[in-house]
Amino acid sequence: MREKIRNLAIIAHVDHGKTTLVDSLFQESGLFRKNQKVQERVMDSGDIERERGITILAKNTAIDYEGYKLNIVDTPGHADFGGEVERTLKMASGVILVVDAFEGVMPQTKVVLRRALQMQLPLILCVNKVDRPDARPDEVVDEILDLFIALDADPSYVDSPIVFTSAKNNRSGKSPEALEDGMKVLLDEIIETIPAPTGDENAPLQLLISTIDYNEYVGRIGIGKVEQGTLRVNDQVNILNYNEPEKKKKVRISHIFEFEGLNRIETKEARAGSIVAVSGVEGITIGDTLADVDQGEAAPFVKISEPTLSMVFSVNDSPFAGKDGKYVTGQRLRSRLYKETETDVSLRVEDTNSTDAIKVFGRGELHFSVLIENMRREGYEFAVSKPEVLFMEDEHGKKLEPMERVTLDTEEIYMGSIIEKLGPRKAEIQGMRPYGDGYVRLECTIPSRGLIGYRQELMTDTKGTGVLNAEFLGYERFKGEIPKRPMGSLISTDTGESSPYGLAAAQNRGVLFIGPQEPVYEGMVVGMNPKGLDIEVNVCKKKQQTNIRAAGSDDSIRLSPPKAMSLEDYLDFVDVDEKIEVTPHALRLRKTILNMSLRHKAKNSR
């Protein structure tokens, strides 16, 4: 046992405060001076992570506390990035389960806890945000104890230590009423509860790669825990894989790094129990084992959850193609998507019959939207189709479809309209209970395709206050047809610049996505029609100049503000005969067939 080392993962539902808790641990360990100004959520290094306030990629760090080295893995909380959590737990000897003192047990809390219980990892329960005025810490502790029983956990888990924290204010304590400044209570509990890593330093080497990073200068960097043996710089090792027995490749180790705060410190050797980063190993991927050349064996590795949705990424062929993007060819798009699969194990890429289109398989709409957003910021220009659910067949040839367990939180007054909308989407209500002051939590199961396009409706029905969380449940029998989206599209008939006069006429038909003086082209979707019909409108039309004047006819045109559409809104709204045009500075919705007469012919032939 390496007595002075602790390897732990911090797991929780999205937005329950994991990354903020790591900030407080940094502060307590003396990594930052007391008066040093440090940005919040310092571990969320990606632009999108910082903007959305979510962790997307698992991050490794280490702090020193009273002579102990604590290797910490901060994991994502969103279900779409569950693949990150599954494999990073392989590096940990114990976990801190963070739960919001108001929201309590949420879907992803159950998912990550189930993984930790299956691996029999010791657990510290951290009830965070106890300083919230609506916090209910005692009820939340009871909910978690009930969850232990529901997940058939070993009875010893009921006695897991509980620490109450306010990570934002850097306070912790053994009870919600007696919080102390700093995180000493939690750090002491980590050293007491989480065991030191075990592993024979003299056994044949076994280093399991759980995460991949990439650097422009050194290429791929493998991160993982040394299960047994000792790894030294310039050692020759074999790359093996538990799930691919035929894989075997001899490589030389050029650099080894250990974690220290936010930095990586180069070291000459790493012994059993250490979490390290290894560079200069060509062809390494997640799930590989770096093993002894003579008598090494591959370490077992968890199978990553299968994708449930697919989208087609294709070359942009709109009239505005190539005007905005830096990378616009099919070859560039293809190589970028294949590169993404090297670091994202939940993503799969498949070639199609066309060299200009690539099929991408992922875990959910957020998973896709983060990939699309990253690519457009890198200068890529492309088009994407509507997300499609992946169906399967059982042994009797019956159609199966992915199902989701949904938890929906909202104010009580909106519950009627929500249940009314969920019915046609084949949702089955499992339970409903009030909590807090006037809030209701609804639990149901629903086909994955029933959720596509629903989040936008939920925001409208609840005036932006509804919170929906979904967890993949598995495949079940096909539930029958689900009605198509209730809204139609307003489609531009001309190419040019939108005019206030044309927009004023078009806004009588529905809600517009664009304002005046914006470039449009024929076949571009400029708004939505609530009656469910696709309607052609000319938003470029200008008022005819005449020499006749009449009282009241020249009143100024009044335009309603256009509906601001985010990428997620477009993914929810897009129909099967439409595409989203993605460029570094613009998002546009368009019909796949831009020409009006050709589009009508195709519709009639269908």
Who wins on pLDDT, 550 or 22?
A: 22
- pLDDT for residue 42: 43
**Long-range interactions of 257-265: CB distance < 8 A, separation 24+:** 257/221, 258/62, 259/60, 259/61, 259/62, 259/71, 260/62, 260/64, 261/26, 261/31, 261/61, 261/62, 261/63, 262/31, 262/42, 262/43, 262/61
Distance CA 3, CA 294 (A): 29
Distance CA 128, CA 178 (A): 14
Last residue of a domain, one of 438, 453, 477: 477
Count of domains forming the chain:
4
- pLDDT for residue 52: 45
Average pLDDT, the chain: 82
Instruction: With cut-offs at 50, 70 and 90, classify the pLDDT of residue 80.
Output: very low
Q: 163-172, 283-292, 387-396: which has the minimum mean pLDDT?
A: 283-292
**Residue 27 dihedral angles phi and psi, to the nearest 5°:** -60, -45
Residues 112-138 have a mean pLDDT of 86
Residue 421 sits in the same domain as residue 456: yes
**8 A C-beta contact, residue 12 and residue 97:** yes
- pLDDT for residue 83: 55
Residue 256 sits in the same domain as residue 130: no
Residue 504 sits in the same domain as residue 437: no
Residue 50 sits in the same domain as residue 84: yes
Residue 185 sits in the same domain as residue 230: no
Who wins on pLDDT, 601 or 365?
A: 601
Who wins on pLDDT, 486 or 509?
A: 509
Confirm whether 379 is domain-assigned. no
Residues 473-479 have a mean pLDDT of 88
Residue 495 sits in the same domain as residue 466: no
Angstrom CA distances, 77 to 15, 16, 21, 502, stand at 7, 8, 14, 46
Quick: pLDDT tens for 153-162: 888 888 889 9
Confirm whether 451 is domain-assigned. yes
Answer whether residue 138 shows pLDDT above 50.
yes
- pLDDT for residue 51: 46
Instruction: With cut-offs at 50, 70 and 90, classify the pLDDT of residue 216.
Output: low
- pLDDT for residue 553: 53
Residue 247 sits in the same domain as residue 187: no
- pLDDT for residue 360: 94
Quick: pLDDT tens for 30-73: 554 444 444 444 444 455 544 445 444 556 788 888 888 888 88
For residue 67, the cross-strand partners are none
Last residue of a domain, one of 248, 266, 292: 292
Who wins on pLDDT, 115 or 135?
A: 135
- pLDDT for residue 582: 93
CATH number of the domain bearing residue 514: 2.40.50.250
Domain that holds residue 213: 206-292
- pLDDT for residue 43: 43
Who wins on pLDDT, 524 or 457?
A: 524
Residues 131-143 have a mean pLDDT of 87
- Percentage above 70 pLDDT, the chain: 88
Residue 280 sits in the same domain as residue 185: no
- pLDDT for residue 39: 43
Answer whether residue 303 shows pLDDT above 70.
no
Residues 204-220 have a mean pLDDT of 77
Confirm whether 351 is domain-assigned. no
Calculate the CA 166 to chain-centre distance: 25
The pTM of the full predicted model, rounded to 2 decimals, is 0.74
Confirm whether 347 is domain-assigned. no
Residue 221 sits in the same domain as residue 181: no
The label of the residue with tokens 């968890």 reads 302
- pLDDT for residue 382: 95
Q: How many CB atoms lie within 10 A of CB 176?
A: 20
- pLDDT for residue 213: 76
**Residue 529 dihedral angles phi and psi, to the nearest 5°:** -110, 120
Distance CA 29, CA 18 (A): 17
Give every CB contact of residue 486 below 8 A, 6+ residues apart in sequence: 530, 532
Residue 140 sits in the same domain as residue 276: no
Last residue of a domain, one of 264, 292, 320: 292
* 100's tokens: 């919001």
